[in-house]
Amino acid sequence: MSARDTDWDGVRLHVVTGKGGTGKTTVAASLALALAAGGRKVLLVEVEARQGIAQVFDIPPLPYEERKIAVAPGGGDVYALAIDPEEAMLEYVEMFYGMKRAGRALNKIGLVDFATTIAPGLRDVLVTGKTSEAVRRRDGSGRRVYDAVVMDAPPTGRITRFLNVTSEVAGLARIGPVKNHADLVRGVVASPETAVHFVTLLEEMPVQETLDGVKSLRAAKLPVGGIFINMVRPELLPAATIAAAMKDDFDLGELALGLKAAGLADGAADATSIAEALAEEISEHAHRTRLERREKRALAEAKVPHYELPLLADGADLTGLYELAETIRSQGAA
């Protein structure tokens, strides 16, 4: 770890969740880049077989294999892994029991299918188990292989159940190897070395889900991280204009004059009609600004650090990821 002070020093597993459509994968990818900056090695894992990481980095689909996908500013490396539950199960059987042949037999009779689809809870254990293994892994000289692991996790509505599934399984399998494995995973996921971050937009539903998610994580005694407010639009209009627009008291005449001065209107009537159309945009913008302020206040109630990431005009392409990574670092999140 560098001497740099961040809000999450000591955290080695960053779990990134968020409601669908909030840009969870993009934020997880940028966080991985930010954490790797300055010569560190970070693993970005994907758990839902959606190949979202490959899409944001614009690379071919990821296999079940850790491979380097990006270089961070100042010479760090980001590795990525798409965890396939079936492969993870076979690997698990082989690694912990040295039973390659039995693993194949289990696969043939459908146990692997059973474990990974019919009882998706077990699938969650396999996936969190594989992630925990990467967090704990050491090389020959006893050094940690990865400085940090970032998980692009399931959405907010499922996150507590997903992370908590190990204790559910532990409750089912009261003794035996499954229980031991579940306890091991729980030991990583519920430790101070883990932080669960939320990605949200300044809109009602995602904010409500974030607040609910924070509450349910706390109830399950899982470590809450920060809140990443994504796609924040710049406040372009002066505060006085927004206030006036909210009261439908906006100075159309002044706008029309400006439009004429800018050469955008043919005569006074045209200037007025364009100004009227634009006034509607201003009114909408003012309403949204008011709503966003309200949602920001609501988020503050969670009492966790929050970070603002700008809306990228051209969408989240590779350049955008680096831009977001820089923002994340400048705000002390990594």
Partner 1 sequence: MTGHKGDTPRKPADDTRRGSPVLDMDAVLDDPNTRIVVCCGSGGVGKTTTAAALGLRAAERGRRVVVLTVDPARRLAQSMGLTELDNTPRLVAGAGGTGELHAMMLDMKRTFDEIIEAHADPERARQILTNPFYESLSSSFSGTQEYMAMEKLGQLRRSDDWDLIIVDTPPSRSALDFLDAPERLGRFLDGRLIRIMMAPAKAGGRSAFKLLNAGFSLVAGAMTKILGAQFLKDIQTFVAALDAVFGGFRQRADQTYKLLQAPGTAFLVVAAPERDAMREASYFVERLAQERMPLAGLVINRVHRSPAPALSAARSAAAAEDLETRGEHELTAAVLRLHAGRMQLAAREHREQEHFASAHPTVPISQVPAMPEDVHDLAGLRKIGALLAS
284 binds partner 1 (CB under 8 A): yes
296 binds partner 1 (CB under 8 A): no
Residues 162-201 that bind partner 1 (CB under 8 A): 162, 165, 168-169, 171-179
At closest approach, how far in Å is the CB of 323 from partner 1?
A: 16
Residue 78 burial by CB count (10 A; 0-12/13-18/19+): exposed, middle or buried? buried
CB closer to partner 1 out of 3 and 262: 262
At closest approach, how far in Å is the CB of 28 from partner 1?
A: 14
Binding range to partner 1, per CB under 8 A, among 6-14, 73-81, 233-241, 322-330? 233-241
Q: Taking CB under 8 A as the rule, which mask of x and - marks residues 20-49 in contact with partner 1? A: xxx-------------------------xx
Residue from 7, 86, 94, 113 touching partner 1 (CB under 8 A): that is 113
Q: Which of 20, 26, 47 is nearest to 209 (CA)?
A: 20
Residues 125-164 that bind partner 1 (CB under 8 A): 154-155, 157-158, 161-162
At closest approach, how far in Å is the CB of 274 from partner 1?
A: 6
Question: 21 with 232: CB under 8 angstroms?
Answer: no
Strands 41-46 and 76-82: parallel
Binding range to partner 1, per CB under 8 A, among 32-40, 76-84, 143-151, 258-266? 258-266
Residue from 9, 95, 97, 137 touching partner 1 (CB under 8 A): that is 97
Kindly give the residue spans of alpha helices, DSSP state H, lying in the chain: 24-36, 52-57, 85-97, 100-109, 111-113, 120-136, 156-172, 177-189, 204-219, 239-246, 252-261, 267-300, 318-330
Residue 144 DSSP class: B
Residue 310 makes CB contacts below 8 A (sequence gap 6+) with 231, 232, 233, 234, 323, 324, 327
Give backbone dihedrals phi and psi of 313, rounded to 5 degrees, phi first. -60, -35
Residues 53-92 that bind partner 1 (CB under 8 A): 55
Residue from 10, 140, 267, 315 touching partner 1 (CB under 8 A): that is 315
